[in-house]
C-alpha cells in the first residue's frame, strides 16, 4: 500500500520542488554566485536541478556537481526571500528508527552528545497512549531564545528560520533556559567531530561547531537552497517528517506531497505546548492509526540509547 502511495505522489513531489523553487525567486536573474554551489572536481550526472541563490536567483546546475552553499554570516541573517518554512511530523508513523538523528548528526558534523533532533518516548498521562516524539527546533514565531540573547547571536529570519551565529555567541546559555522545549545544545568542549568539516563556517550550516557556544537544529537552509529537504526529513524511512512552505501551502517528505492546510485540517494537526505562546513552526499529526506498535521503537537500538527510555512511565510499567 505504501508503494502505491509513493507512485501516486511522485509527480506531485517533482512539481512541488519546481514550483517551490521558482515561486521563491521572483527576483531579477543575473550572473550568480555559481562558485558557491558547484564543486568542479565532482563528476557530472547529466541531471540538471534548479538552484536558488542567496540573491533569490534561480540557476540550473548539474546534480552531481552540486555543493552545499555556505553563505556568509551577514547573508545568513536575511532569510530566503518570499519563503516561510514549516515542518509537519506524523506521530502515527514514527517507530524510533532514529535515521533522522543519524543523518542530522552526520550532516552537521556533531558528536554523539549533541543531538539537534531528539526522539522522546512520551505518554501524556497514565491512561493515554505512549508514542514516539521526534523533536527538532520548533523555529517559533515568538521565540524566547531570540528575545533573551544579549548579543543578537540568535535571530529570526524572514523565512521563519531561527539560526545561531556561533561567531557572535558568547555562551551565556540564557537561550537554553529560555527555550521551553530543551532544544538547544552547548559545546562543553572542542569535539573532534567539529574538525571533520573543512568548509568555512556558516550559521546556515551550523558547522563547524565551536567550543563554548550554543547550537541547535537549523532546518537545514543550506539544503533548502539547493532544492532539498532537511537531512531528517529525507532520511526517515517511514516518511514521518514533512517539510515545506506555509505560503505555498505544500509539505513533502520526499515521496508524498500534501497541501499543508488540508493535511493539518484533516488530520487534526497541532503544535506542541501551544499554551506557552511561542507559536512554533512545527506541527504534529496525532499518533492515530498507527503503523507500528510502540515497542517496535525499542527494536534494534544500541544499549545506551535503549537505556534512555528505561525511566519513562511506559517502560517502568512494562517491566517484567
Q: Could you list the residues that contact other proteins (CB under 8 A)?
A: 118, 120-122, 135, 144, 147-152, 168-174, 176-178, 180-182, 184-190, 211-214, 273, 276, 278, 304-305, 307-312
Nearer to other proteins, 155 or 231 (CB): 155
Here the cell at position 200 is 568555512
**Smallest distance from other proteins to CB 239, Å:** 24
- Least Å from the CB of residue 102 to other proteins: 17
Nearest distance from residue 162's CB to other proteins, in Å?
A: 15
Q: How far is CA 309 from CA 91, 123, 135, 306, in A?
A: 17, 12, 15, 6
Least distance between other proteins and beta carbon 5 (Å): 31
> Backbone dihedral region of 57: left (phi > 0), alpha (psi from -120 to 50 degrees) or beta?
beta
Kindly tell me which of 114 and 234 has the beta carbon lying closer to other proteins. Answer: 114
132 vs 243 by CB, closer to other proteins: 132
Nearest to 112 by CA among 98, 95, 94, 122: 98
Q: Which is nearer to other proteins, 147 or 261 (CB)?
A: 147
Beta bridge mates, 245? 85, 250
Report the nearest approach of other proteins to the CB of residue 190 (Å): 7
The phi-psi region of residue 249 (left if phi > 0; otherwise alpha if psi is between -120 and 50; otherwise beta) is left
- If the CB atoms of residues 3 and 302 are measured against other proteins, the closer one turns out to be 302
CB of 161 to other proteins, least distance (A): 19
> Which residues, including other chains, have CB under 8 Å from residue 288's CB and lie 6 or more apart?
92
Peptide bond before 208: cis, by omega within 30 degrees of 0?
yes
Q: Phi, psi at residue 14, to the nearest 5°?
A: -55, -45
Specify the residue, 25 or 179, whose C-beta has the smaller distance to other proteins.
179
Which residue, 47, 68, 3, is CA-closest to 199? 68
Amino acid at each position: 500500500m505504501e508503494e502505491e502511495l509513493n507512485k501516486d505522489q511522485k509527480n506531485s513531489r517533482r512539481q512541488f520542488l519546481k514550483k517551490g523553487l521558482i515561486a521563491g525567486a521572483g527576483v531579477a536573474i543575473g550572473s550568480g554566485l555559481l562558485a558557491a554551489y558547484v564543486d568542479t572536481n565532482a563528476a557530472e550526472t547529466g541531471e540538471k536541478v534548479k538552484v536558488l541563490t542567496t540573491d533569490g536567483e534561480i540557476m540550473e546546475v548539474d546534480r552531481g556537481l552540486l555543493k552545499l552553499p555556505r553563505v556568509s554570516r551577514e547573508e545568513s541573517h536575511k532569510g530566503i526571500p518570499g519563503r516561510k518554512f514549516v515542518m509537519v511530523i506524523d506521530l502515527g508513523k514514527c517507530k524510533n528508527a532514529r535515521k533522522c538523528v543519524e543523518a542530522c548528526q552526520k550532516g552537521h558534523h556533531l558528536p554523539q552528545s549533541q543531538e539537534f533532533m531528539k526522539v522522546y518516548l512520551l505518554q501524556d498521562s497514565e491512561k493515554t497512549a505512549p508514542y514516539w516524539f521526534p523533536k527538532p527546533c520548533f523555529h517559533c514565531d515568538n521565540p524566547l531564545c531570540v528575545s533573551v540573547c544579549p548579543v543578537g547571536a540568535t535571530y529570526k529570519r524572514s523565512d521563519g528560520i531561527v539560526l545561531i551565529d556561533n561567531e557572535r555567541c558568547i555562551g551565556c546559555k540564557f537561550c537554553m533556559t529560555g527555550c521551553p522545549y530543551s532544544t538547544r545544545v552547548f559545546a562543553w568542549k572542542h569535539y573532534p567531530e567539529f574538525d571533520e568539516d573543512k568548509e568555512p563556517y556558516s550559521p546556515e550550516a551550523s558547522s563547524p561547531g565551536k567550543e563554548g557556544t550554543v547550537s541547535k537544529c537549523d532546518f537545514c537552509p543550506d539544503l533548502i537552497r539547493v532544492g532539498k529537504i532537511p537531512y531528517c526529513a529525507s532520511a526517515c524511512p517511514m516518511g514521518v517528517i514533512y517539510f515545506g512552505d506555509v505560503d505555498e501551502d505544500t509539505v513533502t517528505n520526499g515521496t508524498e506531497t500534501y497541501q499543508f492546510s488540508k493535511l493539518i485540517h484533516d488530520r487534526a494537526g497541532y503544535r506542541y505546548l501551544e499554551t506557552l505562546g511561542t507559536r512554533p513552526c512545527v506541527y504534529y499529526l496525532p499518533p492515530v492509526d498507527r503503523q507500528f506498535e510502540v515497542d517496535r521503537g525499542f527494536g534494534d537500538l544500541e544499549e545506551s540509547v535503549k537505556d534512555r527510555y528505561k525511566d519513562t512511565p511506559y517502560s517502568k510499567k512494562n517491566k517484567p
